[in-house]
């Protein structure tokens, strides 16, 4: 298996992009990634997108986007695994280059979520839950994560204030990110007094509805070294699944797919949590960040909330978490989130993250999750 490196990244500002279509949003970021890579052609591409059929009425987007990008007749594949679609698109690109099937592959993600009303957006996102055992009974994702949060609070003593501190930290980081949808700071008091969505989660515990895209170009590491740029290698990749329905899990406070995908990535890279300098995790809700960090082994079960309160996950803490602002502040166009995490990791490892740069970052991790933990993909990146 060949070593694989990331040689180009592309992302534009996320938000409510009323004036742009799905194809426009994707192609802008994809062309930025190709231009930065310095290559004159790509061999294939993978596009993460969860629900373009519901959000904009367009399926068959791999062919559409390859055409609009001007790269036909290359093979192009849409990848769907709910909110983990982007991360798995990168994994497929990584596998294709590592295997020798292709030399230059683009991995991207896109979602256009604001062209429908709130009801339709909620329905689209809800399709990532178990429709017969969860959706049929009317529960939505804020409700599912509220169940996780309440169980975590009852079992481990996690407090409502600790959940709020996750949002405060991520909005602080996002205030330093010019591409973030909501680049402003919030306070614990503001989070605690924001509109209730599903007890105990309030609106400032929840990631937003977002339009956006991101893209990266990968190639063999040997080829990357000839381009005269910092070589950012993908040294670990792990993917796992779990039951979609919370009722089918032994413990709803534990994310088994996250644990298994993290273990695979750590084993492949020969690393452990203590080796990671920065991590981008899937904070679709504040409780999600806490549960993910526990499942990945950064903190003991039930101790994630305390770690946030002690400042261990802040930019100058033991393990800086979500320096981009995470899904909470940067935004969450579901199919693109996993790729945007990689974009941030590459910037950090290159030393190009400007005001949010983590000092001496050389090893980064990203964790991208589908639904309430039904799928998870983890990558470890290292700078040579």
DSSP for 340-365 reads HHHHHHHHHHHT--GGGPPTT--EEE
Candidates 83, 219, 284, 291; catalytic one: 83
Nearest to 161 by CA among 118, 190, 130: 190
The DSSP-derived string for 12-50 is ---B--TT--HHHHHHHHHHHHHHHHT-S--SEEEEE-S
Nearest alpha carbon to residue 146 among 250, 310, 291, 281: 291
Cβ–Cβ contacts within 10 Å for residue 117, how many?
Answer: 9
- Using the CB atoms, write b or e for 318-357: b if 16+ within 10 Å: ebbbbbbbbbbbbbbbbbbbbbbbbbbbbbbbbeebeebb
Of the candidates 241, 277, 249, 222, which has an alpha carbon nearest to the alpha carbon of residue 91? 241
219 annotated active-site: no
Distance from C-alpha of 23 to C-alpha of 61, rounded to nearest angstrom? 9
- Residues 358 and 317 sit within 8 Å (Cβ to Cβ): no
Distance in angstroms (rounded) separating the CA atoms of residues 252 and 128: 17
Cβ partners under 8 Å of residue 52, min gap 6: 22, 58, 59, 61, 110, 111, 112, 335
Out of 152, 239, 282, 332, which one is annotated catalytic? 332
- Compute the chain's Rg from CA coordinates: 19
Residues annotated catalytic, as ranges: 83, 332
């Amino acid at each position: 298996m060949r070593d694989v490196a990331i040689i180009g990244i592309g992302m534009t500002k996320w938000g409510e992009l009323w004036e742009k279509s799905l194809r426009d949003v994707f192609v802008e970021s994809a062309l930025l990634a190709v231009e930065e890579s310095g290559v004159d052609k790509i061999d294939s591409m993978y596009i993460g997108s969860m629900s373009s059929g519901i959000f904009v009425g367009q399926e068959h987007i791999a062919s559409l986007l390859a055409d609009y990008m001007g790269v036909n007749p290359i093979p192009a594949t849409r990848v769907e695994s709910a909110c983990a679609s982007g991360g798995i698109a990168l994994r497929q690109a990584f596998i294709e280059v590592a295997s020798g099937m292709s030399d230059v592959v683009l991995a991207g993600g896109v979602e256009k979520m604001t062209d429908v009303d709130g009801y339709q957006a909620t329905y689209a996102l809800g399709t990532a839950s178990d429709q017969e055992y969860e959706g049929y009974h009317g529960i939505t994702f804020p409700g599912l994560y509220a169940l996780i949060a309440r169980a975590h609070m009852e079992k481990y003593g996690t407090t409502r204030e600790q959940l709020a501190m996750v949002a405060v930290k991520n909005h602080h980081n996002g205030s330093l990110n010019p591409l973030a949808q909501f680049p402003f700071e919030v306070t614990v008091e503001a989070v605690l007094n924001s509109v209730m969505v599903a007890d105990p989660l309030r609106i400032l515990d929840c990631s937003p509805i977002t339009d956006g895209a991101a893209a990266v170009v990968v190639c063999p590491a040997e080829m990357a070294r000839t381009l005269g740029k910092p070589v950012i290698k993908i040294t670990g990749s792990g993917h796992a699944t779990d039951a979609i329905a919370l009722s089918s899990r032994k413990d709803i406070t534990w994310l088994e797919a996250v644990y298994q995908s993290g273990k695979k990535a750590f084993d492949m890279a020969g690393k452990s949590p203590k080796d990671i300098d920065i991590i981008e995790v899937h904070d679709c809700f504040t409780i999600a960040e806490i549960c993910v960090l526990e499942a990945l082994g950064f903190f003991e079960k039930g101790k994630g909330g305390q770690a946030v309160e002690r400042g261990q996950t802040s930019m100058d803490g033991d393990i800086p978490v979500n320096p981009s602002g995470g899904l909470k502040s940067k935004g969450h166009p579901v199919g693109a989130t996993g790729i945007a995490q990689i974009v941030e990791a590459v910037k950090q490892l290159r030393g190009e993250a400007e005001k949010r740069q983590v000092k001496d970052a050389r090893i980064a991790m990203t964790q991208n999750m589908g639904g309430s933990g039904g799928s998870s993909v983890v990558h470890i990146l290292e700078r040579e």
